[in-house]
Structure 1
Amino acid sequence: MKERRGIRVVLVLLYLVLGTRGKGAKTIIQWENTSEILTYPQVNKTMMQDGDVYDCIDVNRQPAFNHPFLKDHKIQMKPSSFPVGVNINSPVLHVASQADLPIVECSTGMVPILRSSRRDQTTTHNTDQVINKDVQIEEAGIRYSDDLYGVQAKINVYEPKVYKDGDSYSQTGIQIGNGPRGHFDSITAFYSVSPSYFGDSFGRFHVGWRGGISNKVCVDHKCPGFVQVSYNVGLGGKLQHVSVYNGPQYAIDLFIFKDPKTNNWWLVYGQDKIPLGYWPSSLFTHIKNKWSLSF
């Protein structure tokens, strides 16, 4: 019988959690991918050098607003405030330069949406089968359990060798969550290497979430929910600059936190804290105001 392989790496080199207390522990994380066909008006097509195709969509007509809970949602273009005193500095990663997120040239007021293809639907289905069967998963991470309101991480970016057999992938990122088994709400920001999904071995940047009655996992804009405000960061796109073993090091700074006025969960990037987008609190049942688990 063919051996199924999967590598899920949650390798956070530096990790800061905002909450009342924090305790380290060992954890197991399970994620799956899903894909739905969404229709939206195409405004402008952009072809990237690596072959990815993005459509620049009016920010107010992006896929997020196809969600039934967001029909009358008023978009928030930036956080009302940022947590005070949050900064990650370490001599361990002092030599690491900042890796760049995938940049797409869309005009202000637009957001880039990675165009779906027939290959996306096929490989996503295969990925679901792998995760739900006898897949071998190796993980490393940190778990905090308490009332939490934000998490920040500096993550070293690598492109590990991954088997191109349709069953293997690598994933690195941060995740927050809360809720009982079968109804677990969660939010994640990560990069992955998945030849079976994209047909290449590039490190690609993603966001994901799980919540609501269906409690299914959503990635990027494959199903509605995540509201993007950045007009030039392409979710699902290739990260620019990656670390080399015994060579130059590159890292991404990610920060997820609750907006104290709107209760939306914001994702910002880099030391300059550039807003990428947010998950409206109405999407969730168990993390409307806070969460208790962070990985």
Structure 2
Amino acid sequence: MALERKLKVLNKPYVKSFKDKHGIVFDCVDMYKQPAFDHPLLKNHKLQESTWTGPSTAGQRIRVHPQESCPDGTVPIRRTLKQDLVMASLSSPRFRPANNKDHSEIPGQHFAQLLVDSVAGSKFQGASALLEVDTVAVPVGQVSSAQILLVDDSFHSSVVNVVQAGWSDSQTRFTTYWTADDYRSTGCLNVQCPGFVVVSQTSTPGMVLPGGITAISISKVPAECNN
């Protein structure tokens, strides 16, 4: 079946695995064999980590599971289960910008936002923010989140490229999402398709964030990254 084939592609061979306190399994995968490098635009890509220079109050950058660490040369990747793919196919994007309004184009979704536009003739190549992480009690069927989004709508008015990161759910898990065509057919949550490259031995999308202030930084989505 298609789901089984996709699971085999996403769940790479690993040298170690561990569970968080909620029973979610993470596999330590060779850094250059993680799902992100299945994307054709990232083939033979050499990782280049930048140094975080955010405010000191940010603490360690997205260090969410200090009691577990993957061996050198490997990174933690949340193991994808069949039900994860089923839920992803049934759900809408968890956050979608909507022209300076306090509600989304998705019915029942509301948010507060701060918008910053690039200066005419220039573009943002990345952005960062300090997000407060809170354990929020939400009713069944509802989601609370705090995210930073980098949106590129300079190419076509009907096609918007977005990369977003932050936390969501009552367990405040680190969450990422990207799209290259206004959420129509490209992109996915976390690492359920190639896109986000994990470089930390202790942190990865899908992990529970500690309470307090967490620094989030994201880079620009290439317009041609639409597979």
- What TM-score comes out, normalization by structure 1 length? 0.59
Contact (CA 8 Å) 1:102, 1:234: kept in 2 or not?
no
> Quick one: distance in 2 between partners of 1:131 and 1:155?
16
> Quick one: distance in 2 between partners of 1:182 and 1:223?
23
> Quick one: distance in 2 between partners of 1:134 and 1:178?
20
Q: Decide which of 226, 236, 250 is 2:206's aligned counterpart.
A: 236
1:31 aligns with: none
In structure 2, what residue type is equivalent to 1:144? Answer: V
2:86 aligns with: 122
SS in 2 for 1:123: helix
The CA deviation at 1:56 is 0.5
In structure 2, what residue type is equivalent to 1:184? Answer: V
Contact (CA 8 Å) 1:185, 1:285: kept in 2 or not?
no
> Quick one: distance in 2 between partners of 1:39 and 1:125?
18
> Quick one: distance in 2 between partners of 1:113 and 1:87?
25
In structure 1, what residue type is equivalent to 2:112? Answer: A
Residue 178 (str. 1) matches residue 117 (str. 2): no
Distance 1:169 1:49, change over 3 A: same
The CA deviation at 1:130 is 9.0
In structure 2, what residue type is equivalent to 1:158? Answer: D
The CA deviation at 1:153 is 1.3
Pairwise CA RMSD: 3.2
In structure 2, what residue type is equivalent to 1:187? Answer: V
Count, aligned residues: 201
Pairwise mapping of residues 111-260 of structure 1 onto structure 2 (< 5 A)?
111-128=75-92, 135-146=107-118, 147-165=123-141, 168-179=142-153, 180-193=156-169, 201-211=170-180, 216-240=186-210, 242=211, 250-256=212-218
Residue 101 (str. 1) matches residue 64 (str. 2): yes
Residue 44 (str. 1) matches residue 16 (str. 2): yes
> Quick one: distance in 2 between partners of 1:239 and 1:62?
22
In structure 1, what residue type is equivalent to 2:124? Answer: L
Pairwise mapping of residues 10-29 of structure 1 onto structure 2 (< 5 A)?
none
SS in 1 for 2:114: coil
SS in 2 for 1:155: strand
> Quick one: distance in 2 between partners of 1:131 and 1:255?
17
Contact (CA 8 Å) 2:63, 2:203: kept in 1 or not?
no
> Quick one: distance in 2 between partners of 1:126 and 1:235?
20
User: Which entry has the higher C-alpha Rg, 1 or 2?
Assistant: 1
Unmatched 5+ stretches in structure 2: 1-5, 97-104
> Quick one: distance in 2 between partners of 1:131 and 1:145?
19
> Quick one: distance in 2 between partners of 1:117 and 1:42?
16
> Quick one: distance in 2 between partners of 1:224 and 1:155?
25
The CA deviation at 1:219 is 2.2
SS in 1 for 2:90: helix
The CA deviation at 1:184 is 1.0
> Quick one: distance in 2 between partners of 1:130 and 1:226?
17
The CA deviation at 1:212 is 6.9
Distance 1:182 1:42, change over 3 A: farther
SS in 1 for 2:117: strand
The CA deviation at 1:134 is 6.1
User: Among the aligned pairs, what percent are the same residue?
Assistant: 26
- What TM-score comes out, normalization by structure 2 length? 0.75
Distance 1:174 1:61, change over 3 A: same
In structure 2, what residue type is equivalent to 1:206? Answer: T
Distance 1:50 1:149, change over 3 A: same
